[in-house]
Each structure stands twice: as C-alpha cells, then as structure tokens.
Chain A
C-alpha cells in the first residue's frame, strides 16, 4: 500500500516535471538552463556505459549543454529495435543510437523516429546521408561484416586464403568456414545479405546449398563463432574462416597482450557487407529540442572522434582522423556489398526462413 502510494507520488511528480519542460520546450537548447533535463540515450549492449573516452565526451556534452545523459541499454540491436517498435510514440528514452541499415526500415515503418535534419549533416559522408533522404535518422558510423581468416593457419599449410564468396564453395576450403545464424545474429544476417547482394535474389539459395555441402558450420552468435570456433582468436577454435567484422583485425592488434604490431587475422575484402548505424530522435520524447541537440552532438566532431576506438566502427563524418592501428590493419573495401534498406525490410523474414530450410534442415 505504502509502496503504491509512493510510486503514485513519484509518477505525479514526473508528469509535473515533464509538463513544466513542455511549456518552455520551444526555447532554444542553450537558453533553457533553469530546469535540469536528463536525456535518455537508448543504445545496444556493446555501448560502454562508463569509464571510456566515449563517456568522457558525453560528459562534455552535459557540461556545455546542461543536459544530463543517461544511457539506457536495451539489448542487442535487434532487441532494441523490436522494443522501439512496441513502444513507438511512448519511447523508453529520447534518442536512439545504433539502429543499422538491416533494421532501419522496420523502425521507420513503425514510426519510431521524429525526423530531424542535423546541423552536422554537411560533414557526414554523402553516400551515408543518401540512405535517409527523409532525415528520420542521422548516419553516425559504419563498418563492414566480412569473412575473416587466420593468417598463420593458411601460411602453415601453404594454402592461399579464399578471395571471393565463390571460392568458399571450393573443395579445398571444405569444413573451414563458420558463420552465424542470420535468424539470431546481426553479422549472420549481414553475411546472408552479402550473398543475396552478390549472387542475386534467385541464385543465393543454390550457393548456400553448396556451402552446406562444403561443410559450413552455423552457430547462433558472433561470440560463439569468433571465440569458440575460429582459430584466429584467443579462443583458438578449429576453423580458420569466420564471418566477423572488418574491424576485427585491428581489434586483435589493439587488444593483444603483449602488444604486437602485426594482425593475426585479415579480412577478405570482396565478401564485405556494409553496415551503417544511425542515431535519431525518438517520437514521443518529452524533450524534443534537447534530443535534437544530442543527436547533433553524436554526429559532431568531438564525439565522432571517439567512436573508432570505443565501438570499432568508422565515424560517419569524413573530417575525423582515424587512429593509426585502425587504418593499418583494417581494410575498408572500396565497393562493399549493400542492399536497399527497403528490400531488406520487405524480404528479411522470408529470406531467413528460406535460409533456415536450406542450411539447417
């Protein structure tokens, strides 16, 4: 009873505060210093919540704008978007970071975001901004999902690593590849989309049948694939080919102990599928002006300089200098595979179900 009464009081207070902000919500973000606004940044679970330079940058935002930023971890990217769809219009926070191009159409169709043309768009790679002409979200970073290989494994056997997707079905690469289930893993889905993009909507099925014939192993998560089944990671699994990220080789260098100056793994550039991540103002936020300011900050130079080393992705801005390890050990393919987000949204479920029938049954 007492607890109920107390949370009633708390809820009433929250409503009062929200109403108070709403009344002067029209004022510009910088003049609105009277009320301490807390913005909730909804994000995926690999986003650090404290103690990194990314968090330092967010603290600087708080200092200059006066708005506190609370990080709300919603789960992996797919979970985050499903939850955003269910709560569209009454969101769990004010701004979302990390919806990617394989999930974007789903979120946009569910009317999760409020359009906002960021003041920082001029500095963002035009190829990325072209993906969202309606400005529902702002591109903030990109990366690639590629087949990675264990350099030493191939060197020891005098075998050339595969160079293309087609090579992977050759008998000499039998039983060497481990991939993630596209039904449960976001890199797994990206790799399925890579094969659709490369081989076409009618050919990818037979390619996967051949891959299966050639002993492809499927696991449910990136973590299992990379650490438990891949020979090039510290988990030292049995297989020298894995679907992972374009930034995995530099991560292997940066997080090596003792420090090393050459990467143990490398990327097969022609297999890369481009993943672009976006940030956007969630429709139904109590603080639209402040939320827009936060999105601008996330796309701004200060924050963008921190994403490479903290999230292992490339900044969407073109004017940010990348750390050396990053440029040395990762390959940014000139012409990565992509698919139209709308086509992905339309066919994702059908392709995944079809894939499941071909590869797992």
Chain B
C-alpha cells in the first residue's frame, strides 16, 4: 500500500508538460474564483462579524439542527448507496430489454423540481409519516439514487469482467469475490457518489421543507429562513460558514480516499451479459420491476395529479393549458411549450459551461495529481455552500459596471454550472485517475509526445463519462438547484418558475396545471436522457469497431 502511494505521488516520468497542466487548470480556476470565491467573500466580508457569531452560537436549537442535519445525511447516504447498488449492477453488467428505459427512469426524479416531486411523494406516503425524518430520508433516497446508479454504473461497466470470473474460477465464493474483488474496484465510484449524495442531503432544502414539516430543519433551511424571511443576513452567514467548514473537512477527507484508489479498467465498456438461465431471467426481471416500481410510483402519482381536479378525472388542466381565459377575464398566463423551450435553452447553456469547466478541471486534476487535489476540493465547495449565501453574494458583487451581471440570464446558467461542474468531475475523474501512469510511459515508448499521449489515452476515454456528466448538468439546470433560485429573473418563465407561481395559488385548476407542466417536464427530460444515452451507445459502438 505504501509503495502504491509513493508511486502515485511521484509524477510519472512521461507526465504531460507543465504548460498543458497550467492551460487546463486556468479556466476552471478562473471560473471558480470569479463566480464562487468572489461573491462568497464579498458577502462574508460585509456581514460576518463577531456579534453575529456569538448570537448565532447562543441561539437555542442550533445543536439540535446541526445534529439532525448530520444524522439524516449519514443515514440517507448509506441507504441511497445500499439501495442504488442493485440497479447500478443491473444496468452496468446486464443486457436486457427495457434497460435503457430503466436507466432513464431512475434519473428522472433527480431532474424534476423538488417542490413538485415532493408534493407527489407526500400524496403517496402514509399520513403518519408526513413530517417525520423517515419521510425526509425516503425522499432523499428517491431523489439521489440516480447519482449512485449513474456514477457507480459508469465505472462498473468498465470493470474487466474477467477479474471476477478469474476469482470465481479460483474457487472464491460470491461473497468473497464481492468483498475482495468487485468492491475494491468500485471504490472510487462509491466514494465519489456517496460524497455527492452526502453533500446533497446535508444541504437539503426543498425535500426537508416539504416532507420534514417544520420541526426538523437542516442548517441550509435555517440559513435561508434567517436571511430571507427574517432579514438577518449576518446570522445566516454564520450558519453558512459553519456548514461550509464541516463539509469542507468532509470533502478534503474524501479527496484523500479518492487519490488512493486505482483500478485497472477495460479500454472500453465491457460487454454486458445477457441472462441465460431461468433463474437469472427471473432475478433480472424482479430487480428491474422492483426498481421501476419504486422510482415510477411518485412519477405516476405526479402524472395522475394532472388529470384529477376536484375529486374527479378530467383532461381539463391539459386542454385549458395556454388558454387565455378559463372564465371570462380570468386566465393563468401559462405558456407551456414556451416555458419548456426556455428551460431547455437555459439547460443547454448550463450544460455546455459545466461540461467545459468540469472536463478541463478533471483533466487538470488527473495530470497534476498532487496539486490537482486543491482544484478538486475547490470545485466541490460550491456544493457545500448554501445556495442562499452564494446567490446573495452574487447579487451584491455583480452589481456595478463592468460586472453588472446580476440581471443577466446567463448568470443563472453559470450558477447552474457552478453546481453541476463537481458532478462532471465526479463522473469523469474516477475513469481518468483509474488510468495507470504506466500507460503514458508505454505511449512514450511507442513514440508519442506527452501531449499526444494525454489526448489519445485520457481524452479518448472520456466520451462516455462526458455524456453522463452532461445529462447530470442538464438535470441540475432543469430542476433549478442552489444559488440560481435566488437570482432574480426577467422575461418569460422557465418551467420551474411557472410551476412555483401556479402552486402559489388556491384553486383546483392552477394546481392541476402545475402538475401538467411537471408531467411535461418529466416526459421531455426522460426523452432527453434516452436520446443522450442512445447517442452514447452509437459512439461507443463506433469506438469499439475502430
């Protein structure tokens, strides 16, 4: 193990040149400094002071809030990981009918605005559970299972299948193969996905507000409550810093764990197995159905809500959508198609930005090895920082020429990119760091320049994780996460904004129309994932034949 670590910390002889490393790191570092560090330090500089710290630490209930935040995040993460492994295995290792639909389906909850899926989720829960930590944890598992399935699945399908076959041939029982071969090989992705899920559940806002009732706030909920409803930005900033310090430490530890992982990967996606025996078919069908049922139930409830008005079934919410008048003089002003187009356009921009930043950062982290760790941690920090704090920071930082950007639509997209970039890194990095340094040496021996070796070896293998990462980034943008919910917007509505407006109204029709929009968003995003995944499969095919 020690020798292993030494090998990792010593730069490979044929490592890519220093200029390349600097060039790769420049864009993500600048992006992070401009859109994260600057707004954050501006806000903290203006509002953080000793009095506020003393007040905040003496306010009753802090310990309780902090403890609830921590334990629910730990339990949520453990359960998400445990329950996500089976679908990750199914999707990463097996070929079966409906595989791609299942994979898309699992991803959808992660994409939809929390307020909507939260409402659908509430309608399914037994009454006694609403407002309990159990409800919050269940929702967290449901929302985040996509992270485990996608990130672990992406690595799993690249593990050489001959390894566990060899272990089995040597007589190892399945449990031992799992513990001593598969699990260590999967470790980078397991660490990756659990850290993301942990960050997400620790900073959870929407799910906690909707499902946890008011008795179980997280720190993030308190940060928002103090700043936005009580106007106590200083008190809110103290809590935000507390959260950042705790999570910063967690990220740093995880980054250490991550560095030590090293997996020999297949050059391409390993061929997936088809079920042969009756038992395999049954197990596969059972697993698929169970996963689909768990994931689909809230989505179905969501769709059904759009057909249900005032206790009976009707298409009214669908047919009335976009009508200027529901009754004479009374309209809701919903432009469904337009708002979906606008959401998709914003998502495209956010995706492009986060994939560029994330991919460059991952490459830089991978080639810079040791210094890369700092960048890696830096990019994760926005996930650990309260969206309210970053959003308010942007508001007071980008407020004067030449950086009067607070009303710009693209700032929203870059805000999304800030949240999405670490996902891109988490998806790409395990694939990149799993590449043995000797491959570069081998390439050099064969006459490739270091830059060319990097291009051929690292970049070429990135296509598939990049697609996965892009899907995540688009999802984050469509579902409106983090700081961007705090930025003001002008012009016509995106879907989440329209949904929020409709759900703020009393009356059957506005509510049903909100569910219509949410259903349309779910359908569009499922279709989008299917398209992205199929593109991925085609390119993978060409790649394999080349």
Seen from chain A, the residues whose Cβ lies within 8 Å of a Cβ on chain B are: 7-8, 11-12, 14-15, 40, 42, 45-53, 55, 70-76, 78-79, 81-83, 85-87, 90, 92, 106, 181, 183-186, 189, 217-224, 226-229, 233-236, 238, 244-245, 247-248, 251-252, 254-257, 259-260, 309, 312, 323, 348-349, 352-353, 356-357, 360-361
* Set A251, A257, A349: member contacting B505, Cβ < 8 A: A251
- When distances are taken between beta carbons in the complex, the residues of chain A under 8 Å from B260 are none
Cβ contact within 8 Å between B334 and A220: no
Establish whether residues B228 and A78, one from each chain, have CB atoms under 8 Å apart when the complex forms. Answer: yes
Chain A residue nearest to B400 in the complex (CB) = A90
Knowing A219-B131, A220-B214, say if A11 contacts B229 (CB, 8 Å).
Answer: no
Are A256 and B507 CB-contacts (below 8 A) given A15-B401, A53-B331? yes
Whether B127 and A238, one on each chain, are in contact in the complex, defined by CB atoms closer than 8 angstroms, is yes
Asked whether, in the complex, the Cβ of B308 is within 8 Å of the Cβ of A86, the reply is no
Q: Which one of A50, A71, A361 has the greatest number of beta carbons of chain B within 10 Å?
A: A50
Q: A83-B395, A184-B209, A348-B230 are in contact. Are A53 and B329 (CB under 8 A)?
A: yes
Q: Which residues of B contact A (CB under 8 A)?
A: 59-61, 64, 115, 119, 122-123, 127, 130-131, 209-210, 212-215, 221, 224-225, 227-233, 308-311, 314, 316-317, 320, 324, 326-327, 329-335, 392, 395-396, 399-407, 485-486, 488-493, 497, 500-501, 503-512
Which of chain B's residues have a CB closer than 8 A to the CB of A254? 326-327, 330, 507
Q: Which residues of B contact A106 (CB under 8 A)?
A: 231
B214 contacts A50, C-beta separation under 8 Å: no
A234–B309 touching, CB < 8 Å:
yes
Q: Select the residue from A55, A221, A245, A247 with max chain B CB neighbours within 10 A.
A: A221
* Distance between B333 CB and nearest chain A CB, rounded to angstroms: 3
Kindly provide the distance from the CB of B473 to the nearest chain A CB, expressed in whole angstroms: 19
- Check A75–B335 contact: CB distance below 8 A: no
Flag if A49 contacts B504 (CB, 8 Å): no
11 contacts between A and B (CB under 8 A): A50-B333, A72-B490, A73-B497, A74-B488, A79-B486, A81-B231, A92-B395, A186-B229, A223-B503, A228-B130, A323-B329
Docked-complex contact B209 and A79, CB < 8 angstroms: no
Contact call B215/A233, Cβ cutoff below 8 A:
no
Identity of the chain A residue whose Cβ is nearest the Cβ of B322 in the assembled complex? A51
How long is the Cα–Cα vector from A106 to B489 in the complex, in angstroms? Answer: 23
Complex-state Cα separation, A40 to B119, whole angstroms: 33
A227 with B492: CB separation less than 8 A = no
> Chain A residues near B404 (CB, 8 Å)?
11, 14
Assess the A49–B508 pair: CB atoms within 8 A. no
Main secondary structure of the interface of A (DSSP, over half): mixed
CB distance from A268 to the nearest CB of B (A): 16
Kindly list chain B residues whose C-beta atoms are within 8 Å of the C-beta of A244: 506
Per the bound structure, the CA–CA distance linking A184 and B486 in Å amounts to: 15
With A11-B402, A50-B333, A51-B334 as contacts: A357 and B504 at CB distance below 8 Å:
no
Contact status B395-A220, CB under 8 Å: no
Partner pick for A361 among B61, B212, B213, B311, CB 8 A cutoff = B61
Q: Which of chain B's residues have a CB closer than 8 A to the CB of A256?
A: 309-310, 507-509
CA distance A119 to B198 in the complex (A): 56
Of A7, A260, A349, the contact of B402 (CB 8 Å cutoff): A7
- Shortest Cβ distance from B327 into A: residue: A254
Residue of A nearest to B338 (CB): A50
Q: In the complex, which residues of chain A have a beta carbon less than 8 angstroms from the beta carbon of B512?
A: 234, 257
Q: Is the CB of A73 within 8 A of B490?
A: yes
CA distance A185 to B61 in the complex (A): 19
Among B224, B400, B511, point to the contact of A235 (Cβ < 8 A).
B511
Distance in angstroms between the alpha carbons of A143 and B343 in the assembled complex: 33
A250 to B334, CA, bound (A): 21
Query: Is A40 a contact partner of B490 (Cβ separation < 8 A)?
Result: yes
User: Which residue from chain B places its CB closest to the CB of A73 in the assembled complex?
Assistant: B489
Provided the pairs A92-B407, A254-B330 are in contact, do residues A245 and B506 lie with their beta carbons within 8 angstroms?
A: yes
| Given A42-B488, A235-B511; A184-B214 close (CB under 8 Å) | yes
Chain B residues positioned under 8 Å from A323 (CB to CB): 329
Residue of chain A at shortest CB distance from B211: A224
Q: Which of B123, B324, B330 contacts A309 (CB 8 A)?
A: B330
Partner of A312, one of B491, B500, B505: B505
Residues from chain B with a CB closer than 8 A to the CB of A53 are: 329, 331
Q: How far is the CA of A11 from the CA of B406 in the complex (A)?
A: 12
Closest to A81 in B: B231
List B contacts of A189 (CB < 8 A).
229
Closest residue of chain A to B308, judged by CB?
A234
Smallest CB gap from A226: residue in B: B506
A349-B230 contact in complex given A8-B402, A218-B213, C-beta closer than 8 Å: yes
Residues of A within 8 A of B309 (CB): 234, 256-257
> Is A255 a contact of B505 with CB atoms below 8 Å?
yes
Question: Is B504 touching A45 in the complex (CB atoms < 8 A)?
Answer: yes
Known: A51-B331, A78-B228, A183-B229. A70 touches B491 (CB 8 A): yes
Complex Cα spacing A68 to B512, Å: 33
Residue of A nearest to B47 (CB): A86
If A50-B492, A228-B123 touch, does A252 touch B330 (CB 8 Å cutoff)?
A: no
A247 and B506 contact, Cβ closer than 8 Å, known pairs A218-B215, A357-B61: yes
- The distance in angstroms between the C-alpha atoms of A185 and B327, with both chains bound, is 30
Name the CB-closest residue of B to A72: B490
Q: Tell me the bound Cα distance from A182 to B29 in angstroms.
A: 41
* A255, B511: Cα distance in complex, Å: 9
Quick one: given A234-B508, A248-B506, are A85 and B231 in contact (CB under 8 Å)? yes
Q: Please determine whether B59 and A252 come into contact, CB atoms closer than 8 angstroms.
A: no
Give the distance in Å from the alpha carbon of A86 to the alpha carbon of B215 in the complex. Answer: 29
Chain B residues near A360 (CB-CB < 8 A): 214-215
Q: A41 CA to B231 CA in the complex, in Å?
A: 22
CB-nearest residue of chain A relative to B404?
A11
Contact of A257 among B209, B213, B310, B331 (CB under 8 A): B310
In the bound complex, CA of A221 to CA of B64 (Å) = 21
Q: What separation, in Å, do the CA atoms of A233 and B507 have in the docked complex?
A: 7
A245 to B505, CA, bound (A): 10
Residue of B whose beta carbon sits closest to that of A356 = B61
Is there contact, CB below 8 Å, between A52 and B214?
no
Known contacts A82-B228, A83-B395, A256-B509, A51 near B131 by CB under 8 Å: no
Known: A70-B491, A352-B230. A217 touches B123 (CB 8 A): no
Q: In the assembly, what is the distance between CA of A68 and CA of B373, in Å? A: 50
Q: Which residue of B lies closest to A182 (CB)?
A: B229
> What CA separation (Å) do A257 and B123 show in the bound complex?
21
CA distance A244 to B507 in the complex (A): 12
Question: In the complex, what's the smallest C-beta–C-beta distance from A87 to chain B, in angstroms?
Answer: 6
CB-CB under 8 A from A81, the residues of chain B are 231
The reply to whether A252 and B506 contact each other, CB–CB distance below 8 Å, is: yes
Query: Which residues of chain A come closer than 8 Å to B401, judged between CB atoms?
Result: 11-12, 14-15
Instruction: Verify A73–B329 contact, CB threshold 8 A.
Output: no
Q: Find out whether the CB atom of B214 lies under 8 angstroms from the CB atom of A181.
A: yes
Contact assessment for B225 and A184 in the assembled complex, using a CB-CB cutoff below 8 Å: yes
Q: Tell me the bound Cα distance from A207 to B329 in angstroms.
A: 43
Tell which of B330, B403, B506, B510 has the most Cβ of chain A within 10 Å. B506
Nearest residue in A to B209 (C-beta to C-beta)? A220
B335 engages A92 (CB within 8 Å) = no
Query: Once the chains bind, are B488 and A227 in contact (CB under 8 Å)?
Result: no
Q: State A247–B399 Cα separation when bound (angstroms).
A: 38
Which A residues are in CB contact (< 8 Å) with B331? 51-53
A78 to B228, CA, bound (A): 5
* A47 contact set on B, CB distance < 8 A: 501
- Inter-subunit contact A227/B503 (CB<8 Å): yes
Q: Is B210's CB under 8 angstroms from A224's CB?
A: yes
